[in-house]
Every structure is written in C-alpha cells, then in structure tokens.
Structure 1
Amino acid sequence: MTGGEIAVRLTGRLGPRFVLDVDFRAPMRGITALFGPSGCGKTSILRAVAGLHVFSGSVRVGEDVWQDGRTFRPVHRRPIGYVFQEASLFAHLNVFRNLTYGLRRAPKDRSVIGLGEVVDLLRLGPLIERMPTHLSGGERQRVAIGRALLAQPRLLLMDEPLAALDRMARDEILPYLEALHAGLKIPILLVTHDMAEVERLADHIVLLHEGRVVTAGPLDTVLSEPGSVLAVRRDFAAILSGRVRMVEGDGIATIDIDGAALLTLGQGLAAGSAVRVRIAAGDVSLSRSPSTQSSILNALPVEILAVDESGPHERSILLRTHGGAAGFRARISARSADALGLAVGDRVHAQIKSVSIVANR
C-alpha cells in the first residue's frame, strides 16, 4: 500500500447471522461512497474505521496504522471527524460554541481548516448566535459538519448525513457538500443508499452487498464496466467528467467529454469550467443511421461494448464514443435490440434526449 491510500480489511460477526468480510482501498482525496442497500454493513464499516466497533483486521490511513493484529488505536486517538444522520448538536450551546467545541478537541500540532474558513464555506455567519432549537434541519447538519471539520481530521466520516432531511433540506445542503469536495483536501468516506447522492458527490465507490464488497473503484469506471451490477437498475445513469467548450447565445452549452461534444442547457456555466455530466440510460435511444429531423440535440456515433440483460424484456447496452474511453449505457426493450440486431462491436448512433449537469467541478 502506498501513502496515498486508505486501506480497510475487516472481518467479524454482527448478531447470529450477519458476517462482515470486506477488503477495499480508497484514495486519500475526494469522496468515497460506501453504497448498498440497508443492512449491507455500510455503517458498521464506518464505525470500525472510527474505532467505535471492533472487528478483526486492519485499518490504515496513509502511512498511519490505526488497527492491525498488534495495534488498536482508540477512537480518541484517531484524527477523524464524524457526521451522523442526526446533527446531535449540544442543545445548551449556540452555533459559535458548538463550532469551537470541535476546535478544543483538535490536536495542537494539526491545522487543516480555521474557524473563519468553516463559517465561510458552510455560510454559517448569519447563524452564529442562534441556538440549535432555532435552526432548520439543513442548518443543524451544516453546523455539525463544521464542528467535525474544526476537529482538524485527517479523515471525515459521514453516515447518511442527508437521510434525516426532507427533499427541500437535502437540496439545500447538497451544494455545501459539493463545496467541501471542491475546497478541501480531507478525504471523505460517505455512507449512503441513495444513488443520486453517489452520482452528485462521489469520486470513488465501494459497492456492498450482505457484508461483502461487490466491486470498488473510481465511480466512472465502476458504472461503465461490462457486466456492472448497477447497470440493471432502472435508475442507472453514467457520470462523465467534461469541460465546457462554449455557451451559445441561445443558452446551449457544448461540453467536451473525451473528445465527444455533448449539448445541454448551459445556465450558470462558463466556458472552460469543469463539470460532471449525468446521462440516464433511459434517455438514450439507438439508431443504425443518424436522424436528420429530430428535436433531440445529441446524436453521437458510438460502438457497442456489451449487451446485458436488464430483466426479461429489456437490455442494457454499454456504449463508447468513437476513439474515446468514456462509457455510458442505453436501456431499450429486448424487442428493439432484436429488431436492430444489436451485437458487441456494432457501430450505431446514440440519441441522447437529456444531458444533466450534475455538478460544477
């Protein structure tokens, strides 16, 4: 293992039936999502990394050994910040004193981020004198994140931080999580079972099922690999990194993705900016020849890399732009796939109905 990795290998039993047996690595940068259905072991892994639960195995963060066969560093000696589903603020302290509590428990020889930076990053200035009872759910969670950051962690652990919020509050706090990603060098392990959060926030994914790792790797790689277990989901979407080439007067932006040009609405985008693009498999149709009269703006020449079953009557088709490495999928009926005679290696045209900008990078 190099100094730039988080390495986790854990085995153990929870209750009479559930066995955890995981081994994965994650980069010491960006957001790694621990993703899977409820009960697959995500929170147990996070608690073990924090030192709150003891399993056999090892936990290493960079060159620091937090746990192995001879060593177990207790939770108070692990430089972590932990954000729970519920904000769990001190009810008798205002926002300022909740934040500075995090500073008081920070190691004296480690300074990652200052109070002023946290207040600016999470827009906490207007809230600084308020008591927790006078905060919304999203505001409380922002304060909890700020308090965790001010503990000067080497690793930030977030256990479904949006799960207790309603949709409006989630939409309110997501931009702040994106700001953490863009503005901080602290790696984040994020537990979630919401694919939309993964698409919007994660760089790396560890896919879990019944206490075991199904696959792990960079998000775009895991989503585009042939035979991906995620590809059969009806909400499947590819997440591709691109850069804005231009924004025209009619509001349409051209996004360069691995040499291919995609058109989308460009509100709020600037030429040269890095973006994340979401292409839902259900928004992609295939044609043997390009359509000359259509309201669909994107019709890309692509090669078929894989044809996977997605239920008895649907097919998930893995596609790649000509000469590029960017992969995305089309979800079509089995009848359409048979009628077109689609097979691996065929060159067809992908008509993309809607391209969403997930996040500015």
Structure 2
Amino acid sequence: MLEVRLRHRFGGFTLDAGFAVPQGITVLFGRSGSGKTTIVNAVAGLLRPEAGRVAMGKTILTDVEARVWVPPHKRRIGYIFQEGRLFPHLNVRQNLRYGAWFAPKDAPREDMGRVVEMLGIGPLLDRRTGALSGGEKQRVAIGRALLSAPQLILADEPLAALDEARKAEILPYFERLRDEVTIPILYVSHSASEVARLATTVVALEAGRVIAQGRAAEVLGDPAVLPTGAREAGAVLTARVARHHDDGLTELDAGGVALFLPRLPQGPGASVRVRIAAHDVILAQEAPRGLSALNILPGVVAEIRAGEGPGALVALDTQAGRVLARITRRSVAALGLEPGASVHAVLKSVAVAPADVGGPRGAT
C-alpha cells in the first residue's frame, strides 16, 4: 500500500492531496498544472513538502510532523522520465547494468534475462543509445528502472514525447509490467486512453486536489468527474474476444452483448478493455434500423450532467457496462431524457481506435 498525504504551496498554487492505493499501476490523472508531477517529485524526495506523509507499507519516506526525511538516493525508487535519459556513452547492456549496480546487495532483484525478454530489447543490447528510436529508449529506461531493485516505480508522462506509433509500441510493455511485476507503479498522465488501458487505480486531480479515486471504469464512467474536460470523456468496458470475422472485424462479448471492432490482435477467449469515447456515441429512443453502425446497446439513463455551454453528458447503464454519450442539451430535451428512461446507444465500429483497446489485468 502506498500512502500519500501532501500539502504544499507554490505562489498562487496550493497542493492539498491525499490517497492510499494498492499494488498495480496507479494513474495520477488530470490537466497540466493539476499537481501530478508535484506529487511524484514529493514521493521521489525531489521536493520537501510543507506538510504531509509518504509511506510505502511500513517504510516511511517522509513525515514532516515526525521530522522523518529519507534522501532521494536512499528511497529505492525507479524513475522513468518523459525522455529516456540514458547514458549516451554506454550501450544498452551497460545502461541496464548501471541500474543493477546501484541495487542494494540484499534487495530482491529482477532477473536481467527476464526483463530483457519482457521488454523485447534483446536485439538492442550491444547498440549505442543514440541509435535507438524513442520507443526503444523508453523500453531500455523501463528495464534500467526495474533492475535497480526499486520498491516503487515513478513514471512521469513516459509517453508524452512519443508520436502515436511509438506510443502504440510502448503501451503493451506497460501492460506487461502491470501484470507480471509485483512492484507498484505511480504513473502520471493526462491521456484518457492511457488511463483506460493501464490503470489499476485512478486518482483524478484538479487544481491540486483529489476529486475522485477508484477503478478505471468507476472514475472514467462518472460524468461528474472530468479532470481533462468533456472532450476527453469516455467510459471503459470489459469484454471477451468471441471470434474474428473474415471481413476484418473482431466480435466481442461484452456482458452478453455483441460489439464489433476493427480486428484486434488478441485471440478468442482473451479479455480486453475498451474505451468508448463519449463523443462517438449517439442516442436513440428506439432500436434504430437501416444504419451503417453495427453496435447498438440498449440501456437506461443513470445520470445527466449539463455543461456550461450547449452540451450535456448522459450516463447510460447497459448490459455491457456504463457508457457515456456527449450530446447537446437540445437533444436531451427533444428525446425527453431523464434518469430511468430507456434509450439505445449507437457506436460505429471504426470509431474505436487501436489505442483505446488494451489488455485485461488491473481492476476495471
């Protein structure tokens, strides 16, 4: 269990946040300036807060009231930055060994061969870091952090400097890290897709305060929790791959409801998380006919949140799970929508991007 309670002021900004989270990937989710990196730096020991406490299980790293302060180099924390920050004069193998060199001799260690296999960096071991792509550098940086025998890994927006292709390359490795390594990870992001795919626990931040905490499906499916704005709103469904079709579509079983998406790499029987963006969902009073959209989910309106402008978010409980729809307030009135009303959510198969579909593990 990671316990964090912090209070600190920077000019006109005040951080006053606290949370306790279990093992897995905990994602600090919010806009730029919400306090995510400040929390990570305080956990790493790079910032001494005015008040607060940071503890990993029984190990207290910071306790301002008790005057406990463990220096950064003694905290046994692996830090993955936006850029790999590898040593350019060393090759990949030497960068990995550098992490292991600083690990305490009596600390449980990850096997280097296992880490290399998990991250797919075997062919890179003898290459200089200057010859690596951005995605390759980040995989090496992850490996170096793992091999330092950390009690905790901090990842401060590790995909922010990568293009979409490199992000797609790296995300599966973070999923494997979540599922196969027992080291807890505190991960900073302002990307709803990353949160949906990776998070075991979500801590949503706004203006230096925690506005929600819980499983990804709970936090992202709450129309009142919009740490990055209504445009990023979207819910998370858990489904099972039923079959692949010859026309390039994959059929999912989502709580007994069929969902069709562009072909997925996972085989039949595999569990997946699917993020459904609210702006890709339209609503109908009755089951529509003669549409090109293949996915129609009947459900019941759970909540409606009107925005300051012309828009509204409608939370719909379906057999597949919670779905959000971003529509206009005029449409809400025209459809006569209110909590308890029956309605159908309509989603185009091609609206779900590959980056919005990920592996199963972690509490959804």
Q: Same fold (TM over 0.5)?
A: yes
- The residue that corresponds to 1:328 in the other structure is 323
Corresponding position of 2:9 = 13
Q: Residues 1-361 of structure 1: matches in 2 within 5 Å?
A: 5-14=1-10, 16-29=11-24, 31-55=25-49, 56-68=51-63, 69-70=65-66, 71-230=68-227, 233-322=230-319, 326-354=321-349, 356=352, 358-361=357-360
Change (3 A) 1:232 1:319: farther
Deviates more, 1:180-189 or 1:94-103: 180-189
Task: List alignment gaps of at least 5 residues for structure 2.
Answer: none
SS across alignment from 2:232? coil
Count of matched residue positions in the alignment of Structure 1 and Structure 2? 353
Distance apart, 1:91 and its partner CA: 2.0
CA distance in 2, matches of 1:178, 1:25: 22
Structure 1 residue 310: Cα displacement: 3.2
Partner Cα separation in structure 2 for residue 41 and residue 232 of structure 1: 16
Q: Structure 1: how far apart are the matches of 2:306 and 2:239? A: 29
Give the TM-score, by structure 2 length: 0.90
Name the CA distance, whole Å, in 1 between partners of 2:200 and 2:151: 18
CA distance, structure 2, for counterparts of residue 299 and residue 53 of structure 1: 50
Q: CA deviation at 1:133?
A: 1.9
Question: Deviation of residue 53 (structure 1)?
Answer: 1.2
| Rounded Cα–Cα distance in structure 2 between residues aligned with 1:112 and 1:266 | 38
How far apart are 1:226 and its partner, in Å? Answer: 4.7
Question: Which has the higher mean CA deviation after the structures are superposed, 332-341 or 348-357?
Answer: 348-357
Instruction: Give per-residue Cα distances to partners, 1:273-304, cap 9 Å, x unaligned.
Output: 01011211122121121123222212222000
For 1:259 and 1:60, the matched residues in 2 are separated by 42
Letter in 1 for 2:284: S
Task: Compute the displacement of 1:199 (Å).
Answer: 2.6
Q: Given that residues 78 and 153 in structure 2 are in contact (C-alpha distance below 8 angstroms), is that contact kept between their aligned partners in structure 1?
A: yes
3-state SS of 2:276 partner = strand
For 1:58, give the aligned amino acid. Answer: R
Secondary structure of the structure 2 residue equivalent to 1:24: strand
Distance of aligned partners of 1:231 and 1:101 in 2 relative to their CA distance in 1, 3 Å threshold? closer
| Distance in 2 separating the partners of 1:193 and 1:348 | 31
Q: Distance in 1 between matches of 2:38 and 2:274?
A: 32
The letter of the residue matching 1:39 is G
SS at match of 2:144: helix
In the alignment, the residues of structure 2 paired with residue 267 and residue 150 of structure 1 have an alpha-carbon distance, to the nearest angstrom, of 32
Letter in 1 for 2:359: N
Could you say if the C-alpha distance between residues 104 and 232 of structure 1 is closer, same or farther in structure 2, counting changes exceeding 3 Å?
Answer: closer
8 Å contact from structure 1 (residues 238, 329) kept in 2: yes
Tell me, yes or no, if the aligned pair for 2:235 and 2:324 is still in contact at 8 Å. Answer: yes
Q: Is the deviation greater in 249-258 or in 311-320?
A: 249-258
Root-mean-square deviation (CA), in Å? 2.1
**Alpha-carbon deviations, 1:35-66, whole Å to 9, x = none?**
22222221111111111211121112223222
- Report the 3-state secondary structure (helix = DSSP H, G, I; strand = E; otherwise coil) of the residue aligned with 1:229: coil
Aligned mates of 2:250, 2:135 — CA distance in 1: 32
Q: Deviations over 1:120-154 (max 9, x none)?
A: 11111111111222222222222111111101112
- Report the CA distance shift for 1:346/1:242 in structure 2 as closer, same or farther (over 3 A): same
User: 1:28 Cα deviation (Å)?
Assistant: 1.4
Query: In the alignment, is the contact (CA less than 8 A) between 2:30 and 2:190 conserved in 1?
Result: yes
